[in-house]
Amino acid sequence: MDYRGECYVCRRAKQNCLCGSVKPFATRTRFVILMHEREAHKQRTGTPRLARLCLTNSELIVGTDFTGNERVNALIKDPAYSPFVLYPGPDAVNFKTLGGDALAPGKTLLVFVIDGTWRGARSLLNKSPNVRALPRLSFAGRYVSQFKIKKQPMEHCVSTIEAIYYLCREAEAAGYEKLGARAEILMQIFKELVDTQIRYQQVKGRPREEGPAA
């Protein structure tokens, strides 16, 4: 018996299920969301599952150490891809500076997106040298998270679904993606999630949680 009344697709309570708002669309970029195992079991308001449902050219892999993960390593070694990890740093490139063979014809941009709290994301990266060794991709612009139900550890931290949305928009501005209004579904479903949780927290009087790094 399903005593929790949970949707096993978006992993939210059935009364707050957001699957009906999902409108899948394709991106040229291949997104691979690496979700910290702790977040996978603890979070019910996390955005990576919703991002995965919206993006047809994406997948979600759960773990804490991806060093020996066969799927991750196969993707990194696949000559059809130019792999990057979405993570800030002094050597990170963005769509304004990205060039060379990374966006060469015949190659698909592969972006690993790390999901977890800032501490968890950093730990995941440190434990996964295969992912840590990838060139870093970041944003050209500065964004402030709209995840009002979570307290962000640093000003530049945004949720996973926001990170993917902003990256899609910057990719489109650079001429790499042609998504038009389709990408807006990411922010629409994110806003619906936030509004639902705000109403819930107003009733329960619960404090904001620590927000994710990406």
Output the pLDDT for position 102. 56
CA atoms within 13 A on the CB side of 21: 16
CA distance 41 to 1: 20
Output the pLDDT for position 211. 46
Strand partners, 25: 55
Output the pLDDT for position 38. 78
Distance set, CA 62 to CA 8, 35, 69, 167, 183 (Å): 16, 5, 10, 22, 24
CA distance 103 to 95: 10
CA distance 34 to 102: 21
Residue type at 156? H
CA distance 193 to 19: 11
pLDDT along the chain (214 residues), means of 10: 54 62 89 87 72 95 95 97 93 83 77 88 93 94 69 63 94 92 91 74 52 45
Strand partners, 193: none
C-alpha gyration radius of the chain:
17
Number of H helices, E strands in the chain: 7, 7
Output the pLDDT for position 1. 38
Please say whether the beta carbons of 34 and 115 come within 8 A. yes
Q: For residue 75, what are its two tokens?
A: 């993707």
Segment 120-177, tens digit of pLDDT: 888 999 999 999 999 999 999 888 776 655 554 445 578 899 999 999 999 999 999 9
Please say whether the beta carbons of 109 and 102 come within 8 A. yes
Phi, psi at residue 159, to the nearest 5°? -70, 165
Which of these, 93, 75, 174, lies nearest to 139 by C-alpha position?
Answer: 93
Output the pLDDT for position 192. 85
Output the pLDDT for position 22. 73
Output the pLDDT for position 212. 46
